[in-house]
Chains A and B, each alone.
Chain A
Amino acid sequence: MNTIYLDNNATTQVDPAVVEAMLPYFTEQFGNPSSLHSYGNRVGQALKAARQQIQQLLGAEHETEIVFTSCGTESDSTAILSALKAQPERKEIITTVVEHPAVLALCEYLEKEGYTVHYLKVDGKGRLDLDEYQSLLSDRTAIVSVMWANNETGTFFPVVEMAEMAWNAGVMFHTDAVQAVGKIPMDLKNTKIDLLSISGHKLHAPKGIGVLYLRRGTRFRPLLRGGHQERGRRAGTENSASIVALGKAAEMALAAMEHENTEVKRLRDKLEQGILAQVSHAFVTGDPDNRLPNTCNIAFEYIEGESILLLLNKHGIAASSGSACTSGSLEPSHVMRAMGLPYTAAHGTVRFSLSRYTTEAEIDKVIEVLPGIIDQLRKLSPYWKDGAPVEEAFDPAYA
């Protein structure tokens, strides 16, 4: 059975052309780019080329604004901790309640260390209140960290506008753009974004490589100290094979940008409409009009997400869920809770995230099998009878 992989916001398959590009850097091109001899020099040239490919994808002004890291999480940590170290008099951070744990867990830790963190709330569609944001910006703010697109719902935050507002208030702006890079066009040189995080494995490069975009002139303190790699901004011998791979992946993402926003989007919309037309008591979460072209998150009421995933998996379909049971926590996803999803639906969300490899036949297959799965689970549910919810019929000894 062929796998239908619709979990590209979790990770993506490495493009075969990317694998091919990186392989020589495990074998004949094994040199250390810092070395003076020709082994090192050739690798150094390859890293420069990769830096330029990523510069192109981001629309950055200078290639030296690209700093290679090990992952998106490292980029996020570097950005936020750098802002605090570089501006010790500023003790406040502004972020949102729906950030990725890479930012949220760090912020929670920093609160314990004595920093003040303001968490911007979201409305039912996952949107921010920019008046609230404006009122929090001050000369006490060390950094604003707001994701470009939400990993669960795909909803965009207006980061270009928010960076402008931060700049006007004299505040540094970071965006975790791990989900957005490669899926929507970017032109960082014409924005006020100071720092931006990328994760390679979200755009068909391997795991273990990331980028921190660092606008020239931004005050900076490194997270890792040691050698002079990345101009002293990130010490540690360069992961040359993966850097070359990410460069190639960036070049391919730029070439596929049009396809992503037309064909991938069309398939996503077809999937969504196909499901909603057949399944009652289901709805799209987040802001349907303002989101990533590849992402669709649907809440199915009166059933639980992990069960849906297990049955989808049996049909070879890979998706993900924000239900508590998939994560091992007792609460459903913080993103769904922040949007105030009704409790009938909070445990039953399923995220489908497509890629440029997704085919029409795959989408048709999901539209064919999913309604039966939902029906099967609802028939098992004590909240469902004869095709309709019967919530009041359930009378638990405790709740």
Chain B
Amino acid sequence: MWDYSEKVQEHFYNPRNAGALEDANGVGDVGSLSCGDALRLMLKVEPETEVILDARFQTFGCGSAIASSSALTEMIKGKTLDEALKVSNQDIADYLDGLPPEKMHCSVMGREALQAAVANYRGEVWSDDHEEGALICKCFAIDAVLIEDTIRANSLSTVEEVTNYTKAGGGCSACHEGIEEILAKVMAERGEAFSGDAAQVVNAAPVNKSVDQVQADAMAALTQIEMPVAAAGAVPAASGAPKLTNLQRIRKIEEVIERARPALQRDRGDIELIDVDGRMVYVKLTGACSGCQMASMTLSGIQQQMMEELKEFIQLVPVSKAPATSA
């Protein structure tokens, strides 16, 4: 079963504002029976002020579709139409303390129903640019349409390129076959054959090497700094380097963490230094980073930079795995 937040469950089991709104003056219908999700949003708008006096919904769909609808009505009641239109699908997801990546389309549907209902109230015709493909990369929630468009726009021809442009495939690697299929299709359109060679180069490389490469790419993208890629598992030589004091070490460790933070924050996450104990560096991942399937990759990239800065072996430990006390 899905890992729904408490808030999603609460809004599903006790939906707010469910049922028909008889004197609605703005109604937005989106979805269909055949696609498995359908939402009707009904608004009662005060004509003078355009304030949403009441909002109700009817939804056919899964738990998160119902919860998203419920959340949406709560969020927009009392707002003016223009204020309400500022509510994004991400806002709906945030209100519910997050949705699983496969379920983000439920919040998108909420946002679209809102646009449709406002258009209906204003007597406009709302046409959506709704296009949603099958979810390919579950680690980063990237769907087939985005991958296809990106390949087309940038004439990409390898999985690695797709990963660099879209992040898709940069996590658990399970979707590489799926990305290859899309590549083959789009490349055929432009009269090229997807070369199995490129795929084979990736596949033929020792596993460690290709993981390293992905890691290095991810980190380079994250920190946007040039980073020499060390050989797998190599500890930078300590030869001739003066020994750092503990204070100097901690400062350098802090510098590396500060450099990594902006990129993590862009992805709605963060990292915090908790303690340094010998070669063990304890950090805490928060926000979107906690529980992210990419966390270990992020950590190992940061660890690599610390080792290069300090010229010594460092082990970066997320604090949930740290010993109870570190004396």
A residues neighboring B (CB under 8 Å): 302-307, 309-311, 313-314, 323-326, 328-330, 332, 343-344, 346-347, 379-383, 385, 391, 394-399
Contacts and interface: CB of A to CB of B under 8 A. Distances in A.
A396 B60 contact: no
Contacts of B325: none
Contact of B63 (A307, A383, A385, A398): A307
B28 interface: yes
Contacts of A307: 12, 61-63, 66
Contacts of B37: 304, 325
A20 to B, nearest CB: 30
Interface residues of B, number: 43
Contact of A325 (B30, B33, B58, B62): B62
A346 B20 CA distance: 25
B128 A304 contact: no
A399 B66 contact: no
Contacts of B32: 396, 399
Given A311-B13, A399-B34, 10 more contacts: A304-B61, A306-B63, A307-B12, A325-B37, A325-B103, A330-B36, A330-B132, A380-B19, A397-B116, A398-B127
Nearest to A305: B62
Given A379-B19, A382-B29, A306 B62 contact: yes
B165 interface: no
Interface of B: 1, 9, 12-13, 15, 18-20, 28-40, 58-66, 100, 102-103, 112, 116, 126-128, 130, 132, 134-135, 138
B36 A324 contact: yes
Given A394-B40, A397-B128, A398-B130, A383 B62 contact: no
Contacts of B33: 302, 343-344, 347, 383, 391
B61 A330 contact: no
A313 B9 CA distance: 12
A394 B135 CA distance: 27
Given A304-B60, A380-B19, A382-B59, A343 B29 contact: no
A256 B196 CA distance: 53
29 contacts: A304-B37, A304-B61, A304-B65, A310-B9, A310-B12, A310-B63, A323-B62, A325-B36, A325-B37, A325-B64, A325-B103, A328-B100, A328-B138, A332-B36, A343-B33, A346-B34, A379-B18, A380-B15, A380-B19, A380-B58, A380-B60, A382-B38, A382-B59, A396-B29, A396-B30, A397-B112, A397-B126, A397-B127, A399-B32
Contacts of B126: 397
Contact of B35 (A305, A306, A382, A399): A399
Nearest to A379: B19
Nearest to B19: A379
A27 to B, nearest CB: 30
Contacts of B128: 397-398
The main secondary structure of chain B at its interface with chain A is mixed
A394 B29 contact: yes
A329 B29 contact: no
A114 B135 CA distance: 27
A207 B60 CA distance: 36
A325 B61 contact: yes
A41 to B, nearest CB: 39
Nearest to A309: B1
B29 A397 contact: yes
B36 A380 contact: no
Nearest to A332: B36
A335 B135 CA distance: 21
A383 B19 contact: no
A112 to B, nearest CB: 9
Contacts of A381: 38, 58-60
A391 B29 CA distance: 12
A268 to B, nearest CB: 24
B34 A383 contact: no
Residue among B15, B38, B60, B103 with the highest chain A CB neighbour number at 10 A: B60
Nearest to B29: A396
Nearest to B12: A310
Contacts of B58: 380-382
B59 A329 contact: no
A380 B61 CA distance: 10
A109 B127 CA distance: 39
B40 to A, nearest CB: 4
A380 B31 contact: no
A391 B100 CA distance: 30
Contacts of B12: 307, 310
B62 A382 contact: no
A326 B63 CA distance: 10
Contacts of A396: 29-32, 38
A302 B58 CA distance: 12
B29 A302 contact: no
A304 B116 contact: no
A313 B130 contact: no
Residue among A347, A391, A397 with the highest chain B CB neighbour number at 10 A: A397
B60 A303 contact: yes
A366 B102 CA distance: 30
A164 to B, nearest CB: 37
A337 B40 CA distance: 26
The 7 A-B residue pairs with the shortest CB-CB distance in the complex, in nearest-first order: A325-B62, A399-B32, A306-B62, A382-B58, A328-B102, A382-B40, A343-B34
Contacts of B40: 382, 394
A344 B36 CA distance: 9
Nearest to A397: B116
A153 to B, nearest CB: 19
Contacts of A380: 15, 18-19, 58-60, 66
Contacts of B116: 397
Contacts of A332: 36
Given A303-B60, A381-B59, A383-B60, A397 B30 contact: yes
B38 A383 contact: yes
A313 B1 contact: yes
Contacts of A313: 1
Contacts of B60: 302-304, 380-383
A270 to B, nearest CB: 27
B106 to A, nearest CB: 9
Contacts of B20: 385
B6 to A, nearest CB: 14
